[in-house]
Amino acid sequence: MSIISEKTWNQITALEGSRWTTKTFTKPYGVLLYQHTPAGADIKAWTDKARADGVLWTKVNITTLPESREQYVIQSCWTNKDRYHEFEVWYRNNAMDRVKQYELENSITHEYNVQALDSNTTVDDFTKESFINKFSFRRNITFFDQKKVPEKSVIEKILQDAYKYVPILQCVYPFRVKIWGPEYTDLKKQLVLRTVCGPNQHNFHKGGKHEGDWKKCEEIYDGWIKQCAELKRDSLYEGCYFNQQIVAPYLISWHPVPIAPTQSQLDQGYVERRANDVELNLVTSIIGASMHGYGMSLLSANEGLFGSFTKRFITNVDTAENLPEPIKPMYTQNLTFGSVPFVLGIGYQDTSIPYEGDANKGIKPLFDELHFWQ
């Protein structure tokens, strides 16, 4: 959904001859609005087509509420009344009942108001896209839906867009990106065991009484998963919990490599201007991977998907050669180039376990404690 600036919105609302609608949704954190779910793809297709044709414009305001809820106020301007009525008739006949059922099942309430005017008009002076709502949508959720799996083509689009739009210093990529799809269930389970957290996590670290006993860790993990499903929330099990975003349908990992242009770059006349400095390589690979990864998380939000990071995995128990592949360095015989800095899980949220934020409920320092005009 596109967002427009306050200035542009005021310009539109001063025009006559449109249909103005306001929908106010109140919902739990992280729960998708129906049109952002796979089942709501037909609604999204209608509105996307209307936006592409320049007859629908939207403005969104997102407000955080107490008790892990949030409010979306979506204002829409239809600049062609016939297209508006065409959509409304289709919606009432084909989608309204299932939307109501979905909202009932997911504790979503909404109010809907329409102001109808008489004549038609067109609007040309618009900025169609803004990422500000993508920043609001993006959250580092823990539990992903294992039954609703995004199409591979959507993930490929996210990867292609990140390749096109995320800047990397001098276009030399000091990392390689690996994508682990839904077929890598067993591999992801090996990795999620190494994300063990909680008061008793030390038992599985170097020198702990269960060091290297991943079978024991798996037993605790299986019990934790079962308990979370029963309680409908994250919780401790035998003093442990896990970073479950590892088992998202798609897992992305960034693997540092030496700073050097690729063969295709050299073939096109690329001239390397930097020495292969190991310290520079370590810093540049982390910076580049971080920018690329955050870009991917925002591009995921643009597709109605969640992208969740974690860098929490035990790496000092196994040898480099025996680490699970998503966190295994590209060069296991030469670790000077660095280890995998983090991974990113992408998919739909498991709405049966509400998102409750981090342990500190997102409490930030004050803006003025961080920013100083010079």
* pLDDT at residue 129, as a whole number: 39
pLDDT along the chain (374 residues), means of 10: 48 58 85 90 91 83 82 82 79 88 89 51 34 69 92 94 91 93 95 95 94 95 95 92 96 91 91 67 88 94 89 85 86 68 93 75 84 95
pLDDT value at position 11?
55
pLDDT digits (tens, 9 = 90+) for 189-237: 999 999 999 999 999 999 999 999 999 999 999 999 999 999 988 889 9
Q: Is 310 helix (H, G, I), strand (E, B) or coil?
A: strand
Q: Please state, in angstroms and as integers, the Cα–Cα distance from residue 290 to each residue in 174, 295, 297, 350, following that order.
A: 12, 8, 11, 25
Sheet containing strand 250-256, strands side by side: 175-180, 250-256, 343-347, 306-310
Question: CA–CA separation, 370 vs 368, rounded Å?
Answer: 5
pTM: 0.66
Q: What are the tokens at 327?
A: 């966190």
What is the b/e burial string over 331-344, where b = at least 16 CB atoms within 10 angstroms of the residue's CB? eeeeeebbbbbbbb
Give pLDDT tens digits for 33-75: 998 899 999 999 999 898 888 888 888 888 888 777 888 888 8
Hey, what domains does the chain have and what are their CATH numbers?
6-132 (3.30.70), 152-195+243-366 (3.40.109.10)
